[in-house]
Structure 1
């Protein structure tokens, strides 16, 4: 595993007692120190190619309730949904690739260039409690990240039960017994996984940069505070540029 993922691992996963999230701007916390890659969602595919960043349009994730889970789907599929919600619907997922890895993952809700950005938080987390260099983010222990609706967790459990019924004497591993075949189609780097055939609710699964660590998620908002895009930054590139690999900091 590359040493450079330690840059992400050094960012702290924090817990706060407050119940109402506040914006980074209101708290005085500098969001630009958490990510320099917000421009990824504003550039065209051709412009990104000129910066040595590949774009993968992997399809739509189905949000049946609008409560979004961003997590390692194997290590923490039951992670709470983000505090901010969106209207139920189907939304496109875009992956940004550099140095042979998934550098970032975007989930687009509406067209337009974000007016400002906020750190995505869980209920009870408060950006005002963060110190310089700290973040809220999700921990990765299986080398994967995902976007899915909170209701889809039930479908994952249903699929696991189906596989267990087929192999009653075996210890079921969701990756080996279910997910691996979907990921193998794209050389293990991403998959739009449907836990139960015929049931609405799928999971956008993708490599988490160089591997394990703690990764922040950000809301790109318009001037009225409406969510345009969600972005997970896996600390592979800086300044939305894949022409030069960042150095360890």
Structure 2
């Protein structure tokens, strides 16, 4: 049976705690990241340093109405009572990123698919996701892809933000001043890997959100979803 989604409302409830490993506790906070502009409503999630601007990242099959939608991250602060207080910032990891479409309760979750992907073909505990090679994920609209050229030369708005912002603290909204196109980028949990994006739907079947899970919160810590 393919991987099932937990109740991601739990991740985005400030103050919820989980045990990361024996003696290490994670405490969740929700950090806002501004509003992402979706001029077409076709949502893309990927590693922006690898796929953004290449014209290769496919949007999800699930589409939403064009508009501006808020982005937020569930950020875990990890503490170990047996370890001394850190001299610098607390140990934070981004557990999940959410693009909120509607504030109605999410009643069901489905794995985000792109054209040609069929969940029926997934094996036990398998999922569709995007690969990460630069410890970064993002959301953006498919129409904005050409605004942000490839970053292979380590130049441009993405790299400028990477060098100037605290990426562990929450999402970063990057705006191209000439077009107004936006990308919401964030660190991916423990770093590189492959991560699933889930589509939430309300009782009427309408999309409520897109959530990318970075596997910081153990599955057993979260109640099962509907």
Does the pair score TM above 0.5? yes
Partner of 2:61: 83
Match of 1:59 among 10, 34, 39: 34
Q: Using a 3 Å threshold, how does the CA distance of structure 1 residues 125 and 213 change in structure 2: closer, same or farther? A: same
Instruction: Please state if 1:149 is matched with 2:119.
Output: no
- Structure 1 segments of 4 or more deviating over 6 A? none
Q: Using a 3 Å threshold, how does the CA distance of structure 1 residues 236 and 94 change in structure 2: closer, same or farther? A: same
User: TM-score, structure 2 length as denominator?
Assistant: 0.78
Instruction: Please state if 1:187 is matched with 2:166.
Output: yes
Superposed CA deviations along residues 223-242 of structure 1, whole A, max 9, x for unmatched, are 22100011000001125969
Structure-2 separation of matches of 1:221 and 1:109 = 10
Partner of 1:24: none
Task: Look up the SS of the partner of 1:122 in the other structure.
Answer: coil
Structure 1 stretches lacking a partner, 5+ long: 1-28, 161-171, 243-249
Task: Look up the SS of the partner of 2:167 in the other structure.
Answer: coil
The number of equivalent residue pairs is: 196
Q: Using a 3 Å threshold, how does the CA distance of structure 1 residues 31 and 225 change in structure 2: closer, same or farther? A: farther
- Contact persistence 1:95–1:102 (CA under 8 A): yes
Partner of 1:112: 104
Partner of 1:26: none
Q: Using a 3 Å threshold, how does the CA distance of structure 1 residues 129 and 239 change in structure 2: closer, same or farther? A: closer
Q: C-alpha root-mean-square deviation of aligned residues, in Å?
A: 2.4
Superposed CA deviations along residues 158-210 of structure 1, whole A, max 9, x for unmatched, are xx6xxxxxxxxxxx74544432322344323442111x314132000100111
Structure 2 stretches lacking a partner, 5+ long: 19-25, 79-91
Instruction: Please state if 1:72 is matched with 2:47.
Output: yes
Instruction: Please state if 1:205 is matched with 2:205.
Output: no
Task: Look up the SS of the partner of 2:32 in the other structure.
Answer: strand
Task: Using the TM superposition, give the Cα deviation of residue 125 of structure 1 relative to its aligned residue in structure 2, in angstroms.
Answer: 0.3
Superposed CA deviations along residues 52-83 of structure 1, whole A, max 9, x for unmatched, are 11211010110011010000011122310111
Match of 2:9 among 3, 14, 39: 39
Q: Using a 3 Å threshold, how does the CA distance of structure 1 residues 177 and 111 change in structure 2: closer, same or farther? A: closer
For residues 166-181 of structure 1, what are the structure 2 equivalents within 5 Å? 173=152, 175-181=154-160
Judging by fraction of residues, say which structure has more strand: 2
Structure-2 separation of matches of 1:207 and 1:92 = 17
Instruction: Using the TM superposition, name which of 100-109 and 175-184 deviates more.
Output: 175-184
User: TM-score, structure 1 length as denominator?
Assistant: 0.71
Q: Using a 3 Å threshold, how does the CA distance of structure 1 residues 103 and 84 change in structure 2: closer, same or farther? A: same
Structure-2 separation of matches of 1:31 and 1:134 = 5
Q: Using a 3 Å threshold, how does the CA distance of structure 1 residues 60 and 48 change in structure 2: closer, same or farther? A: farther
Task: Look up the SS of the partner of 1:112 in the other structure.
Answer: coil
Partner of 1:225: 205
Q: Using a 3 Å threshold, how does the CA distance of structure 1 residues 87 and 42 change in structure 2: closer, same or farther? A: same
Judging by fraction of residues, say which structure has more helix: 1
